[in-house]
Amino acid sequence: MRTVNAYAATAATRPLGPTTIQRRDLGPHDVLIEIKFCGICHSDIHHARSEWGAATYPVVPGHEIAGVVAQVGSKVTRHAVGDRVGVGCLVDSCGDCANCRKGEEQLCLKGSTLTYGSIRQTQEMLNFCARHRIGADIEVIPASKINEAYERVLASDVRYRFVIDAATLK
């Protein structure tokens, strides 16, 4: 088991606070990512506040992760230690069912782990942005400012994505 630092909500009405979480040992098909940055948005707020159904607490919100491969399992062939990688909308879809074959991995018939959104539509948007040289406007924040960022999102006092600098969790 590996212990990592995080910020978590312990209840729907409580602010997020620093915590540690236990991560399972690396499996043969796993990639361990040293997270450098993690996005937060309305989806995270809705989930942390149980607005999309009952959440299981503690909740560590955040998605759209960017980092560097720190370790790979024995059967991993696509990535190597030191590769820059990102985790988008979901992980763990089967890739084989009818929905996955149609590019709708978020609707995987065998289950998936959502980090919000759809792979196909997200990729279309990323391709469009790359073709037209459109970049994202972000505000990088330390983890200690996550509650302030949430309040600014709720007040519509932001026109871009907040991104947590994971180095500030140490």
Q: What is the pLDDT along the chain (170 residues), one digit of tens a residue?
A: 899 999 999 999 999 999 998 989 999 999 999 999 988 888 888 889 999 888 889 988 888 889 999 999 999 999 999 999 988 767 778 889 999 899 888 788 988 776 656 566 777 777 888 899 888 788 899 999 999 998 898 888 877 788 999 999 87
The single-letter code of the amino acid at 91 is V
pLDDT (0 to 100) of residue 90: 73
Domain boundaries of the chain, sorted by first residue: 2-90+136-169
**2-90+136-169 domain in CATH 3.90.180.10?**
yes
Q: How high is the pLDDT of residue 118?
A: 59
157-163, Cβ contacts within 8 angstroms, sequence gap of 24 or more? 160/136, 161/39, 161/40, 161/41, 161/64, 161/136, 161/137, 162/39, 162/40, 162/41, 162/138, 163/37, 163/38, 163/39, 163/40, 163/138, 163/139
Please tell me the total number of residues recorded for the chain in this structure.
Answer: 170
Residue 112 to residue 158: CA distance in whole angstroms: 31
pTM for this prediction: 0.76
